[in-house]
Amino acid sequence: EQIEKGGYDHFMLKEIYEQPKAIIDTYRGRMLANEGIIKMAGVDDNMSKFLNADRIIIVACGTSWHAGLVGEYLFEDMARIPVEVEYASEFRYRNPIITPKDVVIAISQSGETADTLAAIKLAKSKGAFVFGVCNVVGSSIARETHAGAYTHAGPEIGVASTKAFTTQITVLSLIALKLAQAKGTLSTSAVNTYLQTMQQIPAQVESLLKIDAQVKEIAAVYKDAKNCLYLGRGFNFPVALEGALKLKEISYIHAEGYPAAEMKHGPIALIDENMPVFVIATSRGHYEKVVSNIQEIKSRSGKIVAVVTEGDETVKEIADHVIEIPDTEEAFSPLLTTIPFQLLSYHIAVMLGKNVDQPRNLAKSVTVE
């Protein structure tokens, strides 16, 4: 097992560090950035299904559901296709309206999640075209779907999903761009800019991983918190949910993710000097609004850890800690903003002596309904 961990103390840490390579492996052979070409056989072969779809329904669980939420923003923003994102476990039990004009995208790292598999079978029985985004080759979901795209992240052993999340977002970004190209909802130059920006992501993740020591210091400050709040807007709202889930599952600290603007509709009541609030405030994403949310937290004595774009001066003045990420298109920023939260959860869990790779009560593949 020590050999498999490749010199890292835990699989989770190894998998966090594998993300630059995993993202490259995901888009390798699928994108020719300089020529503006995106090749995905599963999408190419079924393009008419996607183009004629009334809507896309994304079904998934847990972290994969969070990736699906990012997918909703990507598909709607780039390809102008209406998207609904459903917990597979809810979708199947509420007599959903599905027609042959729907495209269902099922996302699953393991490809074995029972609720997602059942949702796929239901969608197929109603005549929908079902596309899978899986990591495990030959898994049940990969076999049960009509077509799909693998994430090629390599084996993910840690129960807390890390590289599966970023590679799922990578695949969804490529699909969204491909559909935008086919529909003409983005100009050729806009697609090319996105593709070239995507190519910079692995190196940016690599450089971001150098903040590990800084994140460890922040982890030491907040490791004894009883509750934490994670806030983000737009593309980074799902990252707030994912940050909270990561902390919950491996450190057993209660955490909630919220869209930043929803704070004033309830969670703001929780804020006091004991409440760490992790806020994503990237420069291109509703920045002014998030800054005012940060001010609201500050005026209630909340502790603020902000994830900001390199060079930010405003938030630095207000927040207790800032973590800088490289600049990128807002649509791809979840690939970067999620990294500090993965590291933070990891370090807190290690400091608290928790079983990082195999947290209590959790299984890597949830094969029961």
Least distance (Å) between residue 293 CB and ligand AGP: 26
Task: Give the neighbor-by-neighbor strand order of the sheet with 55-60.
Answer: 83-87, 55-60, 102-108, 129-134, 147-150
Least distance (Å) between residue 110 CB and ligand AGP: 3
Contact 245, 294 (CB under 8 A): no
Question: Residue written as tokens 């940050």?
Answer: 243
Which residue's CB is nearer to ligand AGP, number 43 or number 164?
A: 164
Catalytic residue among 124, 183, 289, 364: 364
Which residue's CB is nearer to ligand AGP, number 185 or number 365?
A: 365
- Distance, CA of 101 to CA of 349 (rounded, Å): 45
CA nearest to 290, candidates 252, 212, 234: 234
Binding site for ligand AGP (CB under 6 A): 61-64, 108-110, 113, 116, 159-161, 249, 362, 365-366
Least distance (Å) between residue 91 CB and ligand AGP: 14
Is residue 163 flagged as an active site residue? no
Least distance (Å) between residue 142 CB and ligand AGP: 12
Which residue's CB is nearer to ligand AGP, number 283 or number 365?
A: 365
Which residue's CB is nearer to ligand AGP, number 38 or number 58?
A: 58
- Distance, CA of 276 to CA of 269 (rounded, Å): 13
Residue type present at position 219: A
| Residue-wise DSSP of 126-158 | TT-EEEEEESSTT-HHHHHSSEEEE-------S
Active site members: 364
